[in-house]
Amino acid sequence: MATLKDVAQKAGVPILTAYHALSDSQPVDAPQKQRVIEVAAQLRYRLNITLRDVSALANVSVATISYVLNNSAPVSPQTRRRVLDAIDALGYRPNITARNLKTARSRMIGYAWHNVYAWRKVADGYVNALLDHFLYSVTLAAEACGYRLLIFVEPPDDPVSAYEELINTNRVDGFIISGTNQDDIRIRRLLDLRFPFSSFGRANDSWDFAYVDVDGAQGIESATSHLLAQGHHNVAILGWPEGSLSGDARMRGYGSAFAAAGKTPNKAWIVHTTNSIHHAYEETGNLLSMPEQQRPSGIVCFSDTMAVGAMRRIEDEGLRVGVDVAVTGFDDDPIASILRPALTSLQQPIDTIAAQMIDLLMAQIDGQPLPNHRIMLAPELIVRDSSRTPYRG
């Protein structure tokens, strides 16, 4: 394949002129332009600026250009200037694919986008704009490090295969994982393969890997304490089935809030159910049908989804949310501020989570040691009308 220099020489014009003629980026004397275009056609040359063209124009070797570009070797100021000018004049952009092949890096981070159908079906009205925001923050944090995100779908029956495929074909340098569970097979596999990743959420505590998580215990404790401080004596909790890491931690937060207030919760106030509007609705019905002395006037929920179900049931029972029964959620989904009354919720610091996860991932990709790779962040309680009014029962 001919180079830009070949074309320029054969047409008897400077390299830059040939470039302008071919790229239309600057006006060129008509007959010259004509000649350049003819020569290019003859040599079957298609304009495509590479290192070699820059090196020809700047009269330095390709290595020097690479050094300037990557700061990988000292270059004299004059040479650097000349290189930079040539790059600018030709509008050169390095071919990432070639660089990746050489460096055996892809500068890509894999992230599995959730299956919309799956959660629509499983959770009948599951609400979660969190991942939406999370994706944005992770993308931004990754771009700041020169990485981009590759989105893929995890086949529900075999989530690991997609990860292996991406690794084996050198598509990505690392993964961001979310929606973890106790014995997460994705984490298990990546750990076995010693492939870089960081996760939003913990898993099996005996595994040693990089994660960022939100302190659910602390969050639920603050929500529970908030309701107790508002004068509610009977505060119930709508949680997930026992046995999940995050669920059990959150449930402990409920206990500590009571302990701190010198109280003990009624066993019947502690509900374990599925994370769905429907189940929360049903369980709230049970709570509200308790004898008056024991009936909860406050309900702490593990998610905004559940809080929606609780609120709806409270209203259907002819009670007023925020007046007769206070409710708090978790996640601070945009829906929380849209609901009427607006829902008190625990806001997750998504931007910080994303930034920290990328930090942890970059360190692994660059082979640096990971001192603190188990990061816990505190959620912030955003108080709204669903729990703002002090209770006088």
Q: Which residues bind a copy of itself (CB under 8 A)?
A: 91, 93-98, 100-101, 106, 108, 113-116, 120, 125, 127, 129, 131-133, 135-137, 139-140, 143, 148-153, 165, 168-171, 277, 308, 312, 315, 334-335, 337-338, 340
Whole-angstrom CA distances from 333 to 35, 134, 141, 329, 345 are 63, 12, 21, 9, 8
What is the x/- site pattern for DNA, positions 33-52, by CB under 7 A? ---------------x-xxx
Structure tokens that stand for 249 in this block:
């931690």
- The answer to the question of residue 352 lying near DNA (CB under 7 A) is no
Q: Which partner from the list a copy of itself, DNA, none does 72 bind, CB cut-off 5 to 8 Å by kind?
A: DNA
Q: How far is the CB of 161 from a copy of itself (least distance, A)?
A: 12
Among 17, 64, 139, 356, which residue interacts with DNA (rule: CB under 7 A)? 64
Q: How far is the CB of 4 from DNA (least distance, A)?
A: 11
Which CB atom, from 45 or from 302, has the smaller least distance to DNA?
45
Q: How far is the CB of 84 from DNA (least distance, A)?
A: 12
* Distance in angstroms (rounded) separating the CA atoms of residues 19 and 100: 27
Whole-angstrom CA distances from 124 to 117, 177, 240, 305, 338 are 10, 24, 15, 10, 20
User: Under 8 Å CB-to-CB from 387, ≥6 apart: which residues?
Assistant: 226, 227, 230, 298, 322, 326, 327, 328, 344
Percent of the chain that is helix, strand, coil (3-state, to 5): 50, 15, 40
Q: How far is the CB of 147 from DNA (least distance, A)?
A: 15
Question: Which residues partner with 347 through β-bridges?
Answer: 331, 380
Q: Which partner from the list DNA, a copy of itself, none does 52 bind, CB cut-off 5 to 8 Å by kind?
A: DNA
Which CB atom, from 192 or from 242, has the smaller least distance to a copy of itself?
192
Which CB atom, from 45 or from 269, has the smaller least distance to a copy of itself?
45
What is the x/- site pattern for DNA, positions 74-103, by CB under 7 A? xxx-xxx-------------xx--xx-xxx
What pairing do the DSSP bridges indicate for beta strands 211-214 and 374-377?
Answer: parallel
Q: Which partner from the list DNA, a copy of itself, none does 161 bind, CB cut-off 5 to 8 Å by kind?
A: none
Structure tokens that stand for 244 in this block:
């999940």
Which CB atom, from 73 or from 118, has the smaller least distance to DNA?
73
Question: For DNA, which stretch binds (CB under 7 A), given 54-62, 199-207, 238-246, 320-328?
Answer: 54-62
Does 341 sit behind a cis peptide bond, omega within 30 degrees of 0 on the bond before it?
A: yes
In whole angstroms, how large is the CA radius of gyration of the chain? 30
Burial of 151 (0-12, 13-18, 19+ CB in 10 A): exposed
Per residue in 362-384, is it b (16+ CB within 10 Å) or e — as a string?
bbbbeeeeeeebebebebebbeb
Q: Which residues bind DNA (CB under 7 A)?
A: 1, 48, 50-52, 59-67, 69-70, 72-76, 78-80, 94-95, 98-99, 101-104
